[in-house]
Amino acid sequence: MIRLVWLALAALSLQAQHSVFWERKQNTFHLKLEAGPEMEVEFVTPSTFRVRRGLAGPARRPIAASVLQVDVSATPAGARFETDALILHVSRHEGLLAVRLPSSIGLYSETAASVHGGGSLLELAAHPGEEFFGLGARPQAVAGARGLALKTETPFFVSTRGYALWMGTPGAFEFDMAKSKSGSVRIAGSGMERLEYYFAFGPSLKEIWEERLKVDGPIPDPAPRDLEMIPGPRLPRGASRLPAFDQTGQDLLCGEARALVHASLSGILMPAFDLARYRGAELDVFRRAANLGALAPIFQDSQPLAFEGSKADIVAGTRAFRKRLNYFLLAYADEARARGYPILHPMFHQYPHDIEAREHTDSFLLGDELLVAPVCDGAPQKRVYLPLGIWTNWDTGKEEKGRRAVTVDTPAGGVIVFVKNGSILPLGGVSESDPMQLHYYPKSGGEFFLYEPGAIDYSQAHAGPAADIYRLEMESKVDRDYEWVVHNMDQPKSVEQVEGGPFRQTQADGPAGPGQWRYDAANRAVHVGIHAPARSDIIVNLRF
């Protein structure tokens, strides 16, 4: 009899241990913990969730429009939440989280979490070999944040384990990224009554940006309609100024060049480079700053006062070049709005599995096509790491194989630029009357979706080899003249438009007019001019 009573009490104890301590409303689970404040876990997608510890303040509206499939069950230690993408464990006592994949690979685990006296604390494990990127536009040369202690107004970081974490509570945060304790990340906040943060699993950085967009929503319309050099302090929506650094001249330029990369790794879609900070710099530093600014996502002169002499000439040149880049940049501004990708692509964004590439803050990709390596210190040469692919030096036309570092002479403008093989790069004409140029770098096939703000649509350029010809196709949504410029190419035997007949070869300098082509032997470039009516599809074949 005593044994039966004991077994019954043990069964009741086990049942109590596994009892439900949560309530579900749509995708939000409200948990009552044994110790610590109440908390909520809201699933935004199967890969992303929000955690809210301490329920002071207004409740945020649900983000997901429909109820997600989340299987939840009690465990001896707490609760288990499972989606198609993640398995999340929440401890019953303090509400500590551990996240793993369905394959049982661990991603994330908390060791402490609390809200107390207007502050908060979150501690999590820093696994061996794990690196962290982000935490704002900062001037450090080192790419990763592990081993650093930082105060930041951009409390966002991404882990090489494939997840990102960012804070959802306004306030000041200090991040100790395994500096004080090698195996632990410590996030301390002040001036808040709750601890709120988001966790998103990618695993790639591109997928993380897409997950974050589902939380924050797209940049509100209107999207930028031009990204030429901006006079004055006003910036387009989604743009953010680099913070003020306690540096001047060359040191400031090097710090801001690196800060552009760190800003983009922190999810800042359009970091702005302000030329006004270099008004008093020496001429050579000013020239390098202006040329870097022309290749930044946003180029601004917040104090548009008249320049004089050589500085006026430099600004005029960079303004003109920036204007030519406008349609290229607009395509990526629209991608930032629609997909949440920063315009500036750090190496880690584009080449996440190339460990060497992700360590560089001294170069970046502008969009997918251009690799930009500022020579901020004015050295006559620079070692530039080229990721996988074949790359063409913009200034010299020399091709280089990737997955290695090359030594490059510094051009007069102080910024080294490479174009990736397979790219189509749209550039406005040198003058208003010139056609838009479509620079194609063979031999891989390429495409470019050209955002047309007036038509709210995309013109599409395609190019690539097909048997013994090269095929150039332009599906234009607007009426426009174009000039194809095909680089690193031998002279073709003939150029002809499909359903339009042969083009006439010309020896004249300048842009090739519609129905004409010319060969630039010095630069091994074929120039082909076309006129594309709105909603037309113009196909041209180069025969060899």
Answer whether residue 64 shows pLDDT above 70: yes
Check residue 58 and give its pLDDT. 62
> In this structure, which amino acid lies at residue 367?
G
Q: Model pTM?
A: 0.92
Q: Residue 101 gets which letter from DSSP?
A: -
Backbone φ and ψ for 235, nearest 5 degrees, come out as -115, 155
Answer whether residue 453 shows pLDDT above 50: yes
Q: Which of 4-8, 20-24, 343-347 shows the lowest per-residue confidence on average (mean pLDDT)?
A: 4-8
Check residue 336 and give its pLDDT. 93
CA distance 99 to 74: 16
Check residue 425 and give its pLDDT. 98
Q: Residue 398 gets which letter from DSSP?
A: -
Helix residue ranges, H only, 104-156: none
Residue 257: how many other CB atoms lie within 10 Å:
27
Check residue 7 and give its pLDDT. 39
Q: What is the pLDDT of residues 145-175, one digit of tens each?
A: 999 999 998 999 999 999 999 999 877 899 9
CA distance 541 to 522: 22
71: tokens are 């299987």
CA distance 158 to 360: 16
Q: Are 135 and 266 in contact (CB under 8 A)?
A: yes
Q: What is the pLDDT of residues 225-241, one digit of tens each?
A: 789 999 999 998 889 99
Check residue 115 and give its pLDDT. 87
Check residue 1 and give its pLDDT. 45
CA distance 400 to 95: 53
65 confidence band (pLDDT: 50, 70, 90): confident
C-alpha dist (Å) from residue 507 to 219, 430, 519: 48, 19, 8
Rg (CA), the chain: 27
Please classify residue 118 by burial: count the beta carbons closer than 10 Å to its beta carbon, then call 0-12 exposed, 13-18 middle and 19+ buried. Answer: exposed
Mean pLDDT of the chain: 92
14 confidence band (pLDDT: 50, 70, 90): very low
Any residues with CB less than 8 A from the CB of 486 and at least 6 apart, and which? 440, 442, 463, 470, 472, 525, 526, 528, 542
Domains belonging to the chain, first-starting first, are 20-216 (2.60.40.1760), 230-339 (no CATH), 424-543 (2.60.40.1180)
